[in-house]
Amino acid sequence: MNDVIKELVALLQDRRDNPTSGSYTTHLLTSGEDEIVKKIGEEAVEVILAAKGQGDQRIVEESADLIYHLLVLLVSRGLDWDDVVGELAQRRR
């Protein structure tokens, strides 16, 4: 797992296990899955809009937002980025 992803997943897991007042991640995790998937949908749309004329830097920024929110969903479900990477590896075969 990429070190940045690994560190982010660890932080998200810590926020899940030790909620921190004022933390956006804690807010998402305590708001429930509906709120998390709503944010994933919003970020996916923003990636599409960026790709349709906002430039490469905006695509990178919005992709980072989308991946962050996907990781929040995975962590909320007790899953990990490695589960996604494992699925991709399995599909490659």
Domain boundary assignment for the chain: 3-92
Residue ranges, the chain, pLDDT below 70: 1
Report pLDDT for 1. Answer: 54
Report pLDDT for 46. Answer: 97
- For the beta carbon of residue 14, count every other beta carbon within 10 angstroms: 15
Architecture of domain 3-92: Orthogonal Bundle (1.10)
CA–CA gap between residue 8 and residue 85 (Å, rounded): 16
Report pLDDT for 43. Answer: 98
Residue with tokens 């897991």: 13
Report pLDDT for 26. Answer: 97
* pTM higher than the cut 0.85: yes
CA angle 53, 25, 58 (to 5 degrees): 10
CB 1 within 8 A of CB 85: yes
Q: Going by C-beta distance under 8 Å and a sequence separation of 6 or more, which residues neighbour residue 74?
A: 9, 80, 81, 83, 84
